[in-house]
Amino acid sequence: MPLADTKRLLTDKAAPLSNFAGLIRRLHIDGALLGGLILICGFGLFILYSAVGESNRLLINQTVRLGVGFVAMLIVAQMPPDLLRRWTPWGYAAGLVLLVLVLTAGEVGQGARRWLDLGVRFQPSEAMKLGVPMMAAWYLHDRQMPPKLSQLLLIALMIFVPTVLIARQPDLGTALLIAAAGIIVIILAGMSLRLIIGMGILAVPGALVLWNFMQDYQKQRVLTLLNPDSDPLGAGYNIIQSKIAIGSGGLFGKGWTNGSQAHLEFLPERDTDFIFAVLGEEFGLFGVLALLVLYMFVIGRGLYIAVQAQDTYSRLLAGSISLTFLVYVFVNTAMVTGIVPVVGVPLPLVSFGGTSMVTLMAGFGILMSIHSNRKLLPH
């Protein structure tokens, strides 16, 4: 903290504004990040209200979830990065055990085992969204960057095991996101570009192997993406209707709560995975761009925090959290606009739903903790 600021804090009569700024600082909150998140969540609630058919009950439900998310963010923000780092291997190990438990004793919902009931119902896969990049960052923390090939292989294993466990649930969307979070850590750590390109080439046969692992419904989703019109009332229906919704929105949209695609029930899963289409229909291209700008601001702030971070663990973790958030945004928007197959990835902070919200906000809590716990402040 600059000396002048500290002096002023000590000497000046506590003005309300500086009092507020002090509170934010003492709570380890990053004001810019918080502001960006609040804007996204507020905009999201607006869209959601329309998407759930103007139901106050569901809106309150979601607001409560957001509140829980912000509380989780605040709690995590109070944990110094060193503490997080020391707990990381234990947390990761516990996560793996829970994932195995899910596969053996988990609750079945919608044809998949994802939930575990240990007093509270939760999805261990959600925790691993943070657990995997934390573990990779932990491993690389004391080592000289760029990592050696042997180290990379070990990290690959750390990523691969939970990914496979989650893919077996089956929950391909989450599995891919977790793998992405881990891989981002390696890339940020400085893995040689030649290796990255090589892996990219290897990805082609890898994809073929993955194809054989996929469930029929997952294969169908990929096929549907390639030609949605082949089955307009079946698997292609979602994509067709979502493209119609977005396209018919035009530049300025049909107006809030006036989207015919959403309100006449043509658009499926409009309050969850396809809420981006509601935004596109009712607020048009400008509304969509506004949300994307907010997302980019949050991601940019996260990357700034990562660059400012002062140890390898913090740096890699902050970078991974920020870029994984980008992956969420990209995968969801690309899926809804028909660029990538329909994988069950919600639009972060906007889609209706609980567990992923808490994970996301906890991630932002880590960012805030990293930023507010820098030991060497820049001059």
Partner 1 sequence: MDLLSPIKDHHSERRLFVSRVIVSTIIATLLLGVVIARLVHLQVIDHELFAEKARGNRVRIEPVAPIRGLIFDREGRVIAENLPAYQLELIPEQVDDIDDTLNRLVALDLIESENIPRFKELSLSGPRFRPVTLKFRLTEEEIANFAIQRPRFPGVDFQPRLVRHYPDGEAVAHAVGYVGALNADDVKRLDPARYAGTSHTGKTGVESSFESDLHGAAGYRHLITNARGRQVPGNSSELLDSLPMDEKPAPGSNVYLSIDLDLQLLGASLLEGRRGAIVALDPQTGEILALVSAPSFDPNLFAVGMSTAQYGELQNNPDVPLFNRAVRGSYPPGSTIKPMLAIAALETGATNLTRKTFCRGYFMLPNSTHRYRDWKPKGHGPIDFHDAIAQSCDVYFYEISQEIGIDNMHDYLDRFGLGRRTGVDVSGEHPGLVPSREWKRASFRKREDQRWYNGETVIASIGQGYMLATPLQLAAAAGTLATRGVRYRPHMVAAVEDALSSERTLMTPERLPDVEISSSFYWDNVINAMHDVMQGPRGTARAVGSGAPYQMAGKSGTAQVISIAQDEEYDEEELEERQRDHALFISFAPLDRPRIAVAVVVENGRSGSGVAAPIAKAMMDEYLGYGDDAAR
Residues forming contacts to partner 1 in the complex (CB under 8 A) are 142-146, 184, 187-190, 241, 243-251, 254-255, 258, 260-261, 263-266, 280, 284-285, 288-289, 292, 296, 299-300, 303, 306-307, 312, 315-316, 319, 323, 326, 329-330, 333-334, 337-339
* Cβ nearer to partner 1, comparing 26 with 379: 379
Q: Given the complex with partner 1, which of 122 and 330 has the nearer CB atom?
A: 330
**At its nearest, how many Å lie between partner 1 and the CB of residue 348?**
14
- The helix/strand/coil state of 251 is coil
For the record, the structure tokens of 122 come out as: 């939760």
Residue 104 phi/psi, 5-degree rounding, is -95, -40
- CB 158, min distance to partner 1, A: 16
**Close Cβ partners of 137 (under 8 Å, ≥ 6 residues apart):** 85, 88, 185, 312, 313, 314, 316, 317, 320
- CB within 8 A of 359, min separation 6: which ones? 126, 127, 129, 130
Give the shortest CB-57-to-partner 1 separation in angstroms: 21
Q: Name the 3-class secondary structure at 136.
A: helix
107-109, strands of its sheet edge to edge: 107-109, 112-118, 120-122
- Taking the least distance from each CB to partner 1, the nearer of 115 and 330 is 330
Nearer to partner 1, 52 or 166 (CB): 52
Smallest separation, CB 141 to partner 1 (Å) = 9
Return the number of the residue (32 or 101) whose C-beta is nearest partner 1.
32
Is the CB of 99 or the CB of 275 nearer to partner 1?
275
Question: Would you give the DSSP letter of residue 255?
Answer: -
Q: Is the CB of 25 or the CB of 141 nearer to partner 1? A: 141
Q: How far is the CB of 315 from partner 1 (least distance, A)?
A: 6
What's the rounded Cα separation, in Å, for the pair 115 and 102?
A: 7
Cβ contact 74:88 at 8 Å: no
Q: Which residues pair with 112 in a beta bridge?
A: 109
Least distance (Å) between residue 292 CB and partner 1: 6
Q: How far apart are the first and last CA of the chain?
A: 9
Question: Which one, 220 or 310, has the nearer CB to partner 1?
Answer: 310
Sorted by sequence, the CB contacts under 8 Å of residue 222 that are 6+ apart come out as: 211, 214, 341
* Phi/psi of residue 119, nearest 5 degrees: 80, -60
Q: Which two tokens stand for residue 163?
A: 């990914």
Least Å distance, CB 239 to partner 1, is 12
Q: How many residues does the chain have?
A: 379
Shortest distance, position 123 Cβ to partner 1, whole Å: 26
